[in-house]
Amino acid sequence: MKISSPTEYKLSLSNLKRRIYILGEQVEDTTEHPMVIPSLNAIAETYNPGDEPEASEILFAESHLTGKRISRFTHIHQSTDDLVKKVLMQRLLGRRTSTCFQRCVGMDGINALYSVTYECDQRHGTEYHKRLKDYIAWIQEENVVVDGAMTDVKGDRSLRPCEQQDPDMFVRIVDRDARGIVVRGAKAHQTGALNSHEILVMPTTAMREEESEYAVSFAIPADTKGVIFILGRQPSDTRRLEASPLDMGNPRFSSQEALVIFDDVFVPKERVFMAWEADVSGLVVERFAAFHRQSYGGCKVGVGDVLIGAAKLISDYQGTSRASHIREKIVEMVHLNETLFCCGIACSSMGRKTSAGNYEVDTLLANVCKLNVTRFPFEIARLLQDIAGGLLVTMPSEKDMKNPEISGFIEKYLKGSADVPTVDRIKVLKFIENMTVGCGAAAYLTESIHGAGSPQAQRIMISRLANLKEKSELVKKILDIK
Ligand code: SF4
Ligand code: FE
């Protein structure tokens, strides 16, 4: 693993010459930019071996391609045990950062493509699987971050890709020659895009034969000519520019999303993993979605652990921790959070081997997992706000607390329990503000609805996989109905 520490990771990114815009300005080196640093710190934690006793076993794996020790984020799952360890790794990193650490999309992308390229080669006589394996061996060796890019901008949702007034609403192939293809389009809200070395593009939906130009998958370095990044806004994100870490709530860590534009980008054929094979495009979407819906049963649970800790701490700091209704609410938070974990573990344990030899999750259970994630974090956040009290959105700023003319009044009047410094109470409340209505809510709440597909996408999969006919046969058998 060439990049083997958070420091090496940050340095490797600063060496890339990318075209990036933040708040209307082009930025040369994002690793020094205050709007980006917290999200960079979060992803850098994936390079931190850590001191948790279980970390070494779950953050690393043995490559089935080279036998070498690699980051699990670059691993192809070889068993249900690997699938379980992936969820454990995500929970661990959610607990460390209390946000999205952005690196799972690439892992889920290579794992989805692993079996689909194999099946595509069987059907079409293509050579994508070998190319993908070469690419995976390379990212394992380099230990780079890969942005798994699926969501197209989509234009008018009532129209198919080929029916859009502007044909570039879905990433498509616009040219080809003997050396490779040229692509155009854009991917929306790309997690960790500015913190990634590589972009792995996949189609966003099952394409029809007449839309085969949109059936395209490829990988390119983030500094490829024609790739443009525009950082997305998050609620209260410019607090990062105020030099008041207390007001940021979670000053060290955050998530990140960006719009990624492909302005006639050349992709060499060695990095093309699907081109015009419309019949396999839907398989990539389904498998990537299942892996990423599993993922949320790990990362959001880790964040939930931190929020439950915040509920306990703030109730201690405010003198409410012995009230029975507060204890009940915290139990409810734990119940909801562990239910999500059960789903993440269940879809992993019930995984199966694909024809390519890697392991994939149980698709029905992964979709149940993610559908629960569209709801439970909101209830956990609601309970946390209930326990914290209204002060979480009415506190003075850090600058007020540092102004000697008024700091004494703040210290006196915003005090909770006598033995807890006022600033500690405010720290926890600002953290809760961040996680439930500030920029932390982008990853914990909105992403819980829409990340890895919106709730309706999970409902469609659940209705497809529920096998209601077989269930009604059960009744007939019990009641002896012919
Ligand atoms: Fe990983 Fe969760 Fe972020 Fe997705 S939302 S990249 S699963 S941490
Ligand atoms: Fe996500």
Which ligand sits closest to the CA of 91?
1
The whole-number pLDDT of residue 85 equals 98
Percent pLDDT > 90 in the chain is 100
The whole-number pLDDT of residue 170 equals 98
* Structure confidence by residue, pLDDT tens digits, 314-363: 999 999 999 999 999 999 999 999 999 999 999 999 999 999 999 999 99
The mean pLDDT value for 244-262 works out to 98
- Of 441, 451, 448, nearest to 307 by C-alpha is 441
Percent pLDDT > 70 in the chain is 100
| Pocket-testing residue among 96, 146, 196, 292, ligand 1, by greatest number of atoms within 8 A of Cβ | 292
Instruction: Decide whether any atom of ligand 1 lies within 6 Å of the 150 Cβ.
Output: no
Q: How far apart are CA 251 and CA 305, in angstroms?
A: 18
Strand, helix or coil for residue 158: coil
The whole-number pLDDT of residue 122 equals 98
Nearest CA to ligand 1 atom 8: 100
Q: Which residues of 47-85 are buried (b: 16+ CB within 10 A; e: fewer)?
A: beeeeeeebeebbbbebbeeeeebbbbbbbbbebebbbb
The whole-number pLDDT of residue 473 equals 97
User: What average pLDDT does the chain have?
Assistant: 98
The whole-number pLDDT of residue 258 equals 98
Instruction: Decide whether any atom of ligand 1 lies within 6 Å of the 100 Cβ.
Output: yes
Q: Where are the domains of the chain?
A: 6-282, 284-473
Instruction: Decide whether any atom of ligand 1 lies within 6 Å of the 340 Cβ.
Output: no
pLDDT tier at 248 (50, 70, 90 boundaries)?
very high
Structure-derived torsion over alpha carbons of residues 165, 170, 175, 178, reported in degrees to the nearest 10: -160
* Structure confidence by residue, pLDDT tens digits, 103-149: 999 999 999 999 999 999 999 999 999 999 999 999 999 999 999 99
pTM value > 0.95: yes
Q: How far apart are CA 255 and CA 444, in angstroms?
A: 9
The whole-number pLDDT of residue 355 equals 98
* Structure confidence by residue, pLDDT tens digits, 176-191: 999 999 999 999 999 9
Strand, helix or coil for residue 306: helix
The whole-number pLDDT of residue 194 equals 98
Q: How far apart are CA 232 and CA 295, in angstroms?
A: 23
Show which residues are catalytic: 100, 104, 191, 257, 292, 296, 299, 447
**Dihedral sign, Cα of residue 70, residue 73, residue 76, residue 81:** positive
Instruction: Decide whether any atom of ligand 1 lies within 6 Å of the 444 Cβ.
Output: no
The mean pLDDT value for 214-225 works out to 98
* Structure confidence by residue, pLDDT tens digits, 274-291: 999 999 999 999 999 999
| Pocket-testing residue among 71, 90, 340, ligand 1, by greatest number of atoms within 8 A of Cβ | 90
> Which CATH superfamily, name and number, covers 284-473?
Butyryl-CoA Dehydrogenase, subunit A, domain 3 (1.20.140.10)
The whole-number pLDDT of residue 332 equals 98
The whole-number pLDDT of residue 41 equals 98
276 touches 215 (CB < 8 A): yes
Q: How far apart are CA 325 and CA 422, in angstroms?
A: 24
Closest approach atom of ligand 1 to CA 295: 7
The whole-number pLDDT of residue 320 equals 98
The CATH number of domain 6-282, selected from 3.20.20.80, 3.30.470.20, 3.40.50.300, 2.40.110.10: 2.40.110.10
* Structure confidence by residue, pLDDT tens digits, 63-100: 999 999 999 999 999 999 999 999 999 999 999 999 99
The whole-number pLDDT of residue 127 equals 98
Burial label, 137 (beta-carbon count in 10 A; 0-12, 13-18, 19+)? middle
The whole-number pLDDT of residue 246 equals 98
The whole-number pLDDT of residue 132 equals 98
Burial label, 418 (beta-carbon count in 10 A; 0-12, 13-18, 19+)? exposed
The mean pLDDT value for 433-448 works out to 98
The whole-number pLDDT of residue 460 equals 97
pLDDT tier at 399 (50, 70, 90 boundaries)?
very high
Instruction: Decide whether any atom of ligand 1 lies within 6 Å of the 295 Cβ.
Output: yes
The whole-number pLDDT of residue 327 equals 98
Tally helices (H) and strands (E) across the chain. Answer: 18, 14
- Of 192, 186, 194, 33, nearest to 106 by C-alpha is 192
